Structures are given as structure tokens and as C-alpha cells.
Amino acid sequence: MALTFYKYQGTGNDFVILDNRNKQITTLTTEQIRNICDRRFGVGADGLMLLGEKAGYDFEMIYYNADGNESSMCGNGGRCLVAFAHEIGIHRSLYNFWAIDGEHKAEIESNHTVRLKMKDVTSVEQHSSGIVLDTGSPHYIKLVPDAAVIDVYKVGREIRYSNEYKAEGINVNFVESLDNHTIFVRTYERGVENETLSCGTGVTAAALVSAHNDNGFNRIEVKTPGGHLSVEFDKMDDDNFQNIWLCGPAVLVFKGEINV
């Protein structure tokens, strides 16, 4: 089967996207998705997404990790899918789409910037060595003095496969505070099972726990190995965050065809 695909990236977090509005793609196996995402034998990507139709929404997002398994919400993937929707003729001033964690809104600004509204967060768990919260995907936040020197693969993998988290898996973020409004984040992603250049839900989680105001509006600038993002939100209290927007670039890399 020949598939026309689009390759997108958002701060180095890259994705293969397939237009499935005609519902022709119904038989992709875990192995086929894994092969498409393989960086030596396939297109190469951190994940694969299908854009489909859903009644009452502009489109539906279905996301698969590079290991071929359907996964939880991907923030950078959602932003890239909105850019793709615009590319194929779905033009809205405010997008409204459905993903695995529910409804999302998004806006496209100038210079390929996409703003994606994330789900509200109502629980932040303080652990002895880290902070755990769910921003559409589960994240473990470890605050560190120098994120650049961390062995993300080794330490992230140890936490991800620890007895507490190995069954469901967890994404692990190493967060360095650069100033009151800026953080540097590196992420080990489950499903990719390695460090990625950026992780949208991880950046969002890291920003929430780095809020600079006791309550009210916050904007956190986030540096990642793949580029710059920002997160805007209203902090209600230490466990509750609303109106969360993940903002950053989403860029078409190339279009092609692959036989699977």
C-alpha cells in the first residue's frame, strides 16, 4: 500500500502525518507504524498522526508513538496537526478538534506559530525526588541545577522503568530554572524510549510547576534542545491550572510517498 505522508516538526519534535478523512487507512499495524517512524529504514519520526473527521469538530487527532502503539496526548503533535489542517484547506480563526484526552482549541499566528489550548490540570503530586502531573500525558518533573550535564537517557530510563512507573510508563523531564520567567527542559519520552529534542506536554508540565506568580496569569519561556516554546496559563492554586496554552513553531519539512 502506497501512502502519501507529510513530515512536520515542532521544535525538533518530528511527526509523520497522514490525511485519513476518507477513512482509507484502517489497517496500519504496530509494526508498520514502527517501520515508518524508523530513522534508518523509514521516514523517521518521534510519532505518527492520523487526521480524521469527527462530527461537531474540525478534525480528530489520533496519535501513535514511534514504537507503533497508540498513545496519550502529544502537545507538539497537536500543534503540528493544526498546521497540517491549514495546509490541506481546513481554515479557521479558532480550531476546535478532538484528541484522546478530549477537546482542544488552537490558533495559528504569524511565522508558523501555533497556540494550542491544553487540558486543565487539577492535581500536582509532590514526591521526595520529583513532581508528578498529567497534562494530557503523565510527566515526572525533576528540578536540576544544570540540565545540560544530565545523562537523560540513563537517568530518565531508570525513572521510567522504576517499579512505580514501569507498568504504564511515564515521561521524565529535567528542568533547570534560568530566571523567574525562563526554564531549560530536556525530556525522556516513553514510547520513543529516548530523549527527544522537545516534548509539548512535558514543556507544559515543567512550566506549570515553575509558575512565578502565587496565582493569576503566568507566562513561562521554555528553552529545549530543539528550540523555544512558551506556556501561558492561569494558576488558581498549587494544584489547579486553567487556560493553559502551549505556543511555538510548527513547520512542514517535506511531503512524500512510502510503501508499507
State the chain's mean pLDDT as an integer: 96
Helix, strand, coil percentages in the chain from 3-state DSSP, rounded to 5: 15, 45, 40
Specify the pTM.
0.96
pLDDT digits (tens, 9 = 90+) for 68-118: 999 999 999 999 999 999 999 999 999 999 999 999 999 999 878 999 999
Q: Which residues contact 25 (CB under 8 A, 6 or more apart)?
A: 3, 18, 50
Residue 26 clears pLDDT 90, i.e. is over it: no
Strand partners, 117: 245
Distances (CA, A) of 207 to 2, 96, 115, 219, 241: 41, 24, 15, 8, 11
Convert the pLDDT of each residue in 125-144 to its tens digit. Answer: 998 889 999 999 999 999 99
Report the catalytic residues.
74, 199
Return the number of other C-beta atoms located less than 10 Å from residue 53's C-beta: 12
Q: What are the angstrom distances between the C-alpha of 66 and each of 32, 48, 228? A: 10, 7, 23
Instruction: Give mean pLDDT, residues 19-29.
Output: 91
CA angle in degrees (0–180, nearest 5) for 250-254-257? 130
Under a CB-based contact definition with an 8 Å cutoff, are residues 173 and 141 in contact? yes
- Alpha carbons 51 and 68: distance in angstroms, whole number: 16
* C-alpha grid cell, residue 28: 496500519
Over residues 155-212, the pLDDT tens digits come to 999 999 999 999 999 999 999 999 989 999 999 999 999 999 999 999 999 999 999 9
Secondary structure (3-state) at 14: strand
3-class DSSP state of 209: coil
What cell does 26 get? 484502517
Q: d(Cα 238, Cα 87) in Å, to the nearest integer?
A: 39
Dihedral of alpha carbons 86, 91, 92, 93, sign: positive
Q: Determine the residue type at 39.
A: R
pLDDT of residue 128: 81
Identify the DSSP state of 182: E
The residue type of 162 is S
